[in-house]
Structure 1
Amino acid sequence: MKILKWVKRIIPIVLAILILALLTGFIFERISRSKADKIQPDGQFAEIEGHKMHYLKKGTGSGPAIVFETAFDPAGHLQWYHIQKDLPQNFTTFSYDRSGIIWSERGTHPKTGEKMAEELHLLLEQANVPKPYILVGHSFGGTLVRFFVNKYPHDVAGVMLVESQYPDDKKYLSPELYTLVNQGLPGGLLKFANTFGVARLIFKNMFPKQPQYQYQNSIMPALIHKSAYAVLEEQEQMSSIRKEAAQINSFHSIPLYVMTAGDTTRFDTFIKDPKLKNEMIDAWDKMQKDLLKLSTDSQQIIARSSGHYINQDQPEIIEEAIAEMYKKVTTQ
């Protein structure tokens, strides 16, 4: 009986603390969003069929321009920010935020691979980015690049797939591993976290704690509320996007670099079973080699010390590959 009385007394206290914590988080989130609205964008905007899209254009080159496509990632163009700063000014480089990400308005277009390619093409035209383009796509961005190449092949000088997602990975993965690696983000939990300020804490140190990422680490948590819902929307459409992308299986003779991470410990954080981890390493190697078949002019580059985010682990390898690709397509 004493225990029951104690429980009856403690429950209201716990509920009161929980309500206070949620209220505090909600107020913190509202204040943080108000402050975030005052942050000046680092790039420019263009009107794309009824909504504004944000892009960062650097350099003075006459072409081909280097066009970066981001992964399934709330950071948008910030994933390429440090690389754009490091590349020579005689290159024209271009990164952007897909609709609904960071500073780009969501608009009304569906999140399909083809429509995202159309939006990027229109944005490049509006921003007067010199053609043709060298497309650099990381992870999910590598899947999206397929739609652009398929729709605008004459505007593409070269393609670089950086640890690119393989659209038809079911072909190489056991059912157990396929389910594990394709479980996605917990949508309901992320929406809750976004409402009550927790998402800002989760994404506080998304980038490495190094000087070249200081800006990204300051902007990312401040603007996560702008990206969260668009990222979840992309996740909802991921299956259909990948299915359509798998049907685009040729870039013909467009030069292609397939950049692959070489750190075999990169799957340790989310695959604990040694057998499944070894299966993943082997399957990823096969999928990356299969990507080479997209073009009759392709080669693989291994980033030996990198995990999935080569652009953070060994950005110099990407920068060197861009310089090589630029030289290759301008001297043909």
Structure 2
Amino acid sequence: MSSFQTRPPEPTHGFDTLRRTALKAGALAVSLLASGLAGQATAQSAANQNPAAQSAAGPGGYVRPAAPGRLVEVAADRRLHIFCKGETVGPAVIFEAGLSQFTANSGLAAAQDAIAGFARVCTYDRAGMGWSDPAPEGWTYPDRVRDLHALLRAAGLDGPYVLVGHSLGGLLIRAYAQAYPEQVVGLVLVDATSERNLPEFEAARDSTVSQIDAALAVSQPGVPVIGMPAGTSAEVHMAFTPEVLRGVKAEFEALALFDAATLPPGAPGILGEMPLIVIRRGRTMSPPGEADLNHQQGQEDLAALSSNSVLIVAENSGHMVPLDEPPVVADAVRRVLTALNSPDRRL
């Protein structure tokens, strides 16, 4: 395993301002932001660049924006939303977003745009998230892995794939590589969840579900449960509609079943010589706290899964690396694709 440092960051997109405003909205916003919905800032940036994407609320309230991609049937009564860009030459690049995130608020938009210049790259919404239909009752994370497999087949994306997983999405793409090894030729783990991080998700689960339940009890269909600043895009509002919050709740509830029996193997070298790039956030407490050190060790554990790996420290990024430094993610994908075209496939 080798390592190197990253380039200076791209500008952030007003996340701190949006976060401070959302924090004032109450305990629900605090919990959701802490658990991953902070990526909504990217949707605000995209809407600022594309005013046509904004939907003004009329007398009836909020209007959900149109899906940017297409809805693909994965079962007789269910569809998932997928959004692809770029050419079809070579392996397709498939993003797996973090817990509670979807295409419009995942923080992946800028990285997807950069990758689209040299590869076919797709983001999608897991069941119950974004524009995808709700998950069946008791839907587990292995079920979500099977959903992705069905989606890619139904969408005509036959593989092979380079999978990119941010946060909890890292566990999901590892599980996908385990379930469908013949389809996966490379992985990029972006400040991904390791087994060391799971207690943090467990600790947040019950309180978050309780707060979502309280909000849903007084919610109206299609109406965001908290207020946001004037001019906030419809995609950001969408993250706080009861329909999406039910999807968030389902993802948290699935964590209760995310035990050792459902995790992909974490043994060193389990991925053989598959090209693997691990990107770790560089921003920590000063000096790094216990949680920071635990996370850093988890990232080193992830890099050890393959004998053909690189660990990158995104020095100017927090957890939302794709939002803080999208070129780092795009460069990692390009490096994996370049390795796949080399005789020895070494990074």
Instruction: Give me the TM-score of the superposition, normalised by structure 2.
Output: 0.71
CA deviation digits over 1:165-223, x for unaligned, max 9?
112447xxxxxxx5698323522322333544795536x48xxxxxxxx99x4312135
Question: Contact (CA 8 Å) 2:175, 2:263: kept in 1 or not?
Answer: no
Q: Does 1:201 align with 2:226?
A: yes
| Native 8 Å contact 2:164 2:170 kept in 1 | yes
Change in CA separation of 1:180 and 1:52 when aligned onto 2, cut-off 3 Å: closer
AA aligned opposite 1:322: V
- The Cα shift of 1:255 comes to 1.2
Kept after mapping to 2: 8 A contact 1:29/1:196: no
* AA of the residue aligned to 2:245: A
Matched, 1:188 2:210: yes
Q: Do structure 1's residue 307 and structure 2's residue 318 form an aligned pair?
A: yes
> What's the CA shift for 1:83?
1.9
Q: 1:4 matched to which residue of 2?
A: none
Residue segments in structure 2 that go unaligned for 5+ positions in a row: 1-56
- Higher helix fraction (1 or 2): 1
Match of 1:233 among 250, 267, 271: 250
Could you say if the C-alpha distance between residues 91 and 308 of structure 1 is closer, same or farther in structure 2, counting changes exceeding 3 Å? same
Pick 1 or 2: higher relative contact order, CA cutoff 8 A, min separation 6. 2
Equivalent AA in structure 1 for residue 251 of structure 2: E
CA offset digits 1:262-301 (Å, max 9, x no partner): 1113xx9xxxxx8xx6111211111110111211211101
- Residue 287 (1) aligns with residue 298 (2): yes
| Higher mean C-alpha displacement, 159-168 vs 103-112 | 103-112
**Equivalent in the alignment of 2:189:** 161
Using the size of structure 1 for normalisation, the TM-score is: 0.75
Residue by residue, what CA displacement relative to the aligned partner does 1:219-267 show, whole Å, maximum 9, x if unpaired? 12135322211111111121422533545222232211111001113xx
Q: Contact (CA 8 Å) 2:175, 2:264: kept in 1 or not?
A: no
SS at match of 1:248: coil
Superposition deviation, residue 63 in structure 1: 2.2
State the match for 2:45 in structure 1: none
Per-residue CA deviations over 1:287-325 (Å, capped at 9, x if unaligned) read: 110111211211101100100010111111111111111
Residues in 2 aligned to 1:135 and 1:77: alpha-carbon distance in whole angstroms: 19
Query: Where does structure 1 lack aligned partners over 5 or more consecutive residues?
Result: 1-27, 171-177, 206-213, 269-273
Which of 52, 71, 84 is equivalent to 2:79? Answer: 52
8 Å contact 1:109–1:115 — kept in the other structure? Answer: no
CA contact (8 A) 1:100 1:107 kept: yes
1:211-290, aligned counterparts within 5 Å?
Answer: 217-225=233-241, 226-249=243-266, 250-265=270-285, 278-290=289-301
Q: Alignment identity in percent?
A: 24
Whole-angstrom distance in 2 between the partners of 1:138 and 1:111: 21
Letter in 1 for 2:314: A
Alpha-carbon distance in structure 2 between the residues aligned to 1:110 and 1:330:
41
Please identify, of 236-245 and 314-323, the stretch whose mean Cα deviation from structure 2 is larger: 236-245
Match for 1:45: what amino acid? L
| 1:46–1:52 CA contact under 8 A, matched in 2 | yes
**Equivalent residue number for residue 341 of structure 2:** 330
Using the TM superposition, give the Cα deviation of residue 129 of structure 1 relative to its aligned residue in structure 2, in angstroms: 1.9
1:15 matched to which residue of 2?
none
| 1:117 correspondence with 2:145 | yes
> After superposition, what is the alpha-carbon deviation per residue over 1:121-170, rounded to whole angstroms, capped at 9, x for unaligned?
11111112251101000111001112101110110010011111112447
